Amino acid sequence: MRLPRLPPLQPAWLPALLRDLPGAGQRRRACLLAALATAVVVLRPWPPFLWLPGWVVGLLLLLTVADLLRWLWRPHRWR
């Protein structure tokens, strides 16, 4: 007997674009990466972030841009 597959728990406060619609996981990941990259760039002058090498910050920004471009170029579709 197979157990029913439960949907992943998603916060109710997220808009449908980031929760229910196709490609929501990809959009959430892109938003999270963009927010993380923005936070690192904004917090760069403070000591803990000042100790990060420049290539780490550059790699994070490059990953963010690559993920956003991938999302724009090939959005996730229904199967």
Does a structural domain hold residue 61? yes
Does a structural domain hold residue 10? no
Does a structural domain hold residue 26? yes
For the segment 30-79, what is each residue's pLDDT rounded down to a tens digit?
888 888 888 888 888 888 778 878 888 788 888 888 888 887 777 666 55
- State the residue range of the domain holding 27: 22-73
What is the number of domains present in the chain?
1
First-residue to last-residue Cα distance in the chain:
26
0.75 exceeded by the pTM?
no
> What is the DSSP annotation of 5-46?
PPPPP--TTS-HHHHTSTTHHHHHHHHHHHHHHHHHHHTTTS
